[in-house]
């Protein structure tokens, strides 16, 4: 297995660390983004070699982000986890040194204060728990408050889930709730501030209650995407949807809104599944002045309902129906 060098970005006074779990196999891209054919990928030359292989298959990864803000240690998403029974072979019964990497970056599990779950999918909640000697699943971060959107938890609590998803809830979500560590947050436009400089912004479509994480410090900003965007190819083709998007049309609207906001504000984008270098600046690719980055403090005010001339839906996500396309200017640990 290749080495996993620590990658980090400075956002004002906040240092964001990428904590690697696993690189995903080539077949993941075709399953996750079936519209991203090798032919289409080859027409986006800036994707290679970091985000696409020579044969046009996509590079993707599972990692989390750790940061310290206002004196508190925060983990954004928790990956797949070890020893979990999963239907996806790439996620099944993993045995990775993820916790060692997290500790080496300065975030021992017993010193995490907040765990933010962008949404409740198996590759974002797995390290919520780990297997105890008695065979039970126990919270990995025992002093942390685990936060997710109330809309997200309510949706999954009320929908009929297939057995593989019920298994994930049994081993990675419900133990946290049963230990009294799960907090449900009302995330609404233009965003809900959780800590000074850390805001959750609703980004529905992939799941109904998915949130992105916006960081602001000293006039700089960054957005951790969650799964409203899975791969940089979606910057060039925002209409590409994941095979597991619950509401594809809303996912496209959310994605177009996010790309436009990040491009005009100059915020750093950190992709939750982007292969290294993972972070970068978004620029319009068609008919735009590439030098026009905003001088604001990031994703300006979260989701702005009715911003400018754009219509907006009831969730506050602007009606992103434009044809603009974008590219990512990679920033490997530099900011």
pLDDT over 70, % of the chain: 86
H or E element that contains 167? helix 163-168
Single out the residue of 1, 75, 39, 40 nearest to residue 234, CA to CA. 40
Between 328 and 314, whose confidence is greater?
328
pLDDT score, position 32: 97
pLDDT score, position 330: 77
pLDDT score, position 324: 87
Structure confidence by residue, pLDDT tens digits, 135-159: 999 999 999 999 999 999 999 999 9
Confidence of residue 8 (pLDDT cuts 50, 70, 90): very high
Single out the residue of 109, 126, 130 nearest to residue 117, CA to CA. 126
Structure confidence by residue, pLDDT tens digits, 152-183: 999 999 999 999 999 999 999 999 999 999 99
Distance CA 225, CA 223 (A): 6
Contact present, 178 and 138 (Cβ < 8 Å): no
pLDDT value at 312 more than 80: no
Given strand 114-116, what is the order of strands in its sheet? 7-11, 14-23, 61-69, 72-76, 114-116, 145-149, 182-185
Contact present, 36 and 246 (Cβ < 8 Å): no
pLDDT value at 42 more than 90: yes
pLDDT value at 225 more than 90: yes
Confidence of residue 113 (pLDDT cuts 50, 70, 90): very high
pLDDT value at 4 more than 90: no
pLDDT value at 6 more than 90: no
Mean pLDDT of the chain: 89
Beta-strand relationship, 279-284 and 268-270: antiparallel
pLDDT score, position 301: 46
Confidence of residue 299 (pLDDT cuts 50, 70, 90): low
- Tell me the mean pLDDT in the region 218-243: 98
pLDDT score, position 286: 65
- Tell me the mean pLDDT in the region 225-232: 98
pLDDT score, position 298: 43
Structure confidence by residue, pLDDT tens digits, 77-111: 999 999 999 999 999 999 999 999 999 999 999 99
Confidence of residue 53 (pLDDT cuts 50, 70, 90): very high
Structure confidence by residue, pLDDT tens digits, 192-202: 999 999 999 99
pLDDT value at 259 more than 90: yes
pLDDT value at 288 more than 70: no
Contact present, 135 and 98 (Cβ < 8 Å): no
pLDDT score, position 285: 86
pLDDT score, position 87: 94
Min mean pLDDT across 39-53, 133-147, 306-320 is at 306-320
């Amino acid at each position: 297995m290749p080495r996993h060098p620590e990658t980090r970005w400075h956002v004002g006074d906040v240092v964001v660390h990428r904590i690697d779990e696993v690189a995903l196999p080539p077949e993941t891209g075709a399953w996750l983004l079936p519209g991203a054919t090798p032919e289409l990928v080859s027409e986006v030359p800036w994707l290679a070699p970091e985000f696409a292989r020579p044969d046009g298959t996509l590079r993707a990864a599972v990692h989390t982000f750790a940061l310290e803000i206002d004196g508190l240690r925060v983990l954004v998403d928790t990956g797949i986890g070890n020893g979990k029974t999963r239907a996806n072979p790439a996620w099944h019964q993993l045995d990775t040194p993820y916790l060692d990497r997290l500790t080496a970056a300065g975030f021992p599990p017993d010193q995490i204060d907040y765990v933010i779950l962008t949404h409740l999918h198996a590759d974002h909640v797995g390290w919520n728990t780990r297997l105890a000697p008695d065979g039970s699943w126990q919270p990995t971060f025992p002093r942390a408050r685990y936060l997710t959107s109330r809309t997200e938890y309510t949706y999954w609590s009320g929908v009929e889930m297939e057995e593989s998803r019920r298994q994930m809830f049994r081993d990675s979500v419900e133990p946290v709730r049963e230990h009294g560590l799960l907090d449900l947050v009302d995330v609404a436009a233009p965003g809900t501030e959780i800590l000074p400089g850390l805001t959750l912004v609703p980004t529905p479509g992939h799941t109904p209650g998915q949130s992105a994480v916006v960081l602001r410090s000293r006039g700089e900003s960054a957005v951790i995407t969650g799964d409203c965007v899975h791969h940089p190819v979606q910057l060039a083709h925002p209409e590409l949807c994941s095979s597991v998007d619950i509401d594809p049309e809303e996912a496209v609207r959310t994605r177009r809104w996010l790309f436009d906001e990040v491009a005009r504000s100059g915020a750093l984008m950190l992709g939750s599944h982007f292969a290294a270098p993972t972070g970068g600046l978004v620029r319009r690719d068609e008919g735009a002045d590439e030098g026009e980055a905003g001088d604001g403090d990031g994703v300006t005010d979260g989701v702005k309902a009715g911003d400018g001339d754009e219509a907006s839906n009831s969730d506050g996500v602007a009606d992103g129906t434009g044809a603009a396309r974008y590219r990512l200017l990679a920033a490997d640990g530099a900011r």
